[in-house]
Amino acid sequence: MRLETRRLLDRAFSGLGVIAIGVMALALIVILTPIIVKGSGAFVFRSTVEHRKVMFDQWDRGNPQRIEADKAAAAEARQPVYDMLSAFDAELKAMPRKERSLYKKPLRELEKALAELLGPVPGEHTPVLIRQQYGATRWDRAKIKLDELLYTEDWDYSNPDALGVLVKTPRVEQFRGTALEPLFAYIKENISAMMRPRWTFYWQFLFDTSKDSHIFGGIGPEVLGTIYLTLGAMIFAIPMGVIAAIYLCEYSREGRVVSFLRICISTLAGVPSIVFGLFGLAFFLNTIHISNSKSVLAGSLTLSLLILPTVIRASEEAILAVPHSYKEAALSLGSGRWHTVMTVILPAALPGILTGTVISMGRAAGETAPIIFTAAVSVGRPLMPLEALSQPTPALPWNIYNLSTEHEAVDEIRHVQFGMVFTLVALVLLLNLFAIVMRARISKKLRG
């Protein structure tokens, strides 16, 4: 091979590696960007007057006078719409029966679309479901609802070779020549006077309970449940893991037993997370009946088994990283082995152990599969600490799954789903960031 070719190959080879790393970074950006951008939309968004009504009615938030003024202004802008509707009603009554029946279905659809945008017609009886008591609470949803109001959507399957094509026709066509004809132009013109959008920072999203299966409100019970599960897992995993690491590093002699224990640990690390979930169900719930139903306790125990190998390994590494001279100095001063471990080695290894446990905390917080059968429910109230022993809880990872696949109005609550994912990812990444910073400080300390 000629030298130039070899050089070219060499450069191309390095290039491939750089491309691979670039792809990895790109993947990270592509995955995190929508989560961060749309997720922060659950906290910071343009709220409509309906949102402020929800906040005032359900959570007693906001200044009553200002809310009243807000509501009055919106109602004033909306009044012409209802006037037009009643004018159309009168017109209908005057029509012959046959013509009237033609308008029946379009009118019903229009009224439904209007209710989704603006809420129920004032003066009529209040619907039972909370979601039907209010219109669109978010400006972005309001614009979608407006679009649904202005246009009817149909799928055109006339071409058998291709997929169906979406056809949008203005709804106004159905009401040509009636009192409702100007309604559509009016709503389009005055939508912002009717909804009064305003930028809002809804930080209470993190702490509020949800109303009407997550259509309103926040993710408080889920956040609390995740914290319970994570802390519970750490309570069991840290003592076990650290003791095991102390034994493996300081007490055991390398031999058959220890290498057997190590194989067990690495096998435990390789067990798929869903199998942990099944084990938790079969052992903690069905065999020793730790609680009557799913509970935070059972979930925490299952999670603690899952992160145990990580905690053991991290603690082992931290203990082994303590300089040998520390230990020798302590032993030469006449302190016993146990005393050395407790007063010299553990304090020196503590930051390292903490780093490892913080990382496994992130893992425990984000795991879904082990808690499906042992701890998680879709809807629930926030638990008191003692109730955690016997009660199941909603938790962020499970509810992300649940809301994005099994909820009856998946598209309506995209912002809640993204908000949950954002919260979970932010929680996990903050824990990891903490660990990364801490590790950098430790390595500086050990080097200097």
User: Looking at 131, 198, 211, 414, which residue binds another protein (CB under 8 A)?
Assistant: 414
Q: Any residues with CB less than 8 A from the CB of 85 and at least 6 apart, and which?
A: 111, 121, 180, 183
In the complex with another protein, which residue's Cβ is closer, 191 or 298?
Answer: 298
Under the criterion CB under 8 A, does residue 153 sit at the interface with another protein?
Answer: no
In the complex with another protein, which residue's Cβ is closer, 184 or 276?
Answer: 276
Under the criterion CB under 8 A, does residue 108 sit at the interface with another protein?
Answer: no
Q: What is the bridge-based pairing of β-strands 198-201 and 151-156?
A: unpaired
For residues 52 and 141, what is the distance between their CA atoms, to the nearest angstrom? 15
Where does this chain touch another protein (CB under 8 A) — which range of 146-154, 170-178, 214-222, 330-338? 330-338
Tell me how crowded residue 42 is: count the other CB atoms within 10 A of its CB: 24
In the complex with another protein, which residue's Cβ is closer, 24 or 72?
Answer: 24
Where does this chain touch another protein (CB under 8 A) — which range of 85-93, 169-177, 357-365, 382-390? 357-365
Under the criterion CB under 8 A, does residue 157 sit at the interface with another protein?
Answer: no
Under the criterion CB under 8 A, does residue 235 sit at the interface with another protein?
Answer: no
- Least separation in angstroms between residue 48's CB and another protein is 24
Site string for another protein, 308-327 (x = CB under 8 A): x---x---------------
For residues 435 and 447, what is the distance between their CA atoms, to the nearest angstrom? 18
Query: Phi and psi for 90 in degrees, rounded to 5?
Result: -60, -40
Contact 138, 48 (CB under 8 A): yes
Helix ranges, 281-389 (H): 296-321, 324-332, 337-340, 346-366, 369-372
Closest by CA position to 49, among listed 86, 76, 22: 76
User: Looking at 81, 117, 223, 244, which residue binds another protein (CB under 8 A)?
Assistant: 244
In the complex with another protein, which residue's Cβ is closer, 305 or 388?
Answer: 305
Count residues contacting another protein (CB under 8 A)? 92
User: Looking at 193, 263, 379, 446, which residue binds another protein (CB under 8 A)?
Assistant: 263
Sign of the alpha-carbon dihedral angle for 442, 444, 447, 448: negative
Q: How far is CA 438 from CA 323, 350, 413, 427, 431, in A?
A: 18, 11, 38, 17, 11
In the complex with another protein, which residue's Cβ is closer, 220 or 309?
Answer: 309
Positions 415 through 444 that interact with another protein (CB under 8 A): 417-418, 421, 424-425, 428-429, 432, 436
Q: How far is CA 415 from CA 103, 137, 291, 434, in A?
A: 36, 12, 35, 28
Contact 368, 401 (CB under 8 A): yes
Under the criterion CB under 8 A, does residue 299 sit at the interface with another protein?
Answer: no
In the complex with another protein, which residue's Cβ is closer, 191 or 421?
Answer: 421
- Least separation in angstroms between residue 184's CB and another protein is 28
Q: Name residue 406's amino acid.
A: E
User: Looking at 5, 159, 292, 332, which residue binds another protein (CB under 8 A)?
Assistant: 5
User: Looking at 67, 130, 240, 442, which residue binds another protein (CB under 8 A)?
Assistant: 240
Tokens standing for residue 391:
């009660």
User: Looking at 157, 201, 203, 338, which residue binds another protein (CB under 8 A)?
Assistant: 338
Positions 51 through 80 that interact with another protein (CB under 8 A): none
Under the criterion CB under 8 A, does residue 223 sit at the interface with another protein?
Answer: no
Contact 208, 59 (CB under 8 A): yes
Under the criterion CB under 8 A, does residue 232 sit at the interface with another protein?
Answer: no
Closest by CA position to 276, among listed 363, 360, 371, 395: 371
Where does this chain touch another protein (CB under 8 A) — which range of 42-50, 197-205, 327-335, 355-363? 355-363
Positions 29 through 48 that interact with another protein (CB under 8 A): 31-32, 34-35
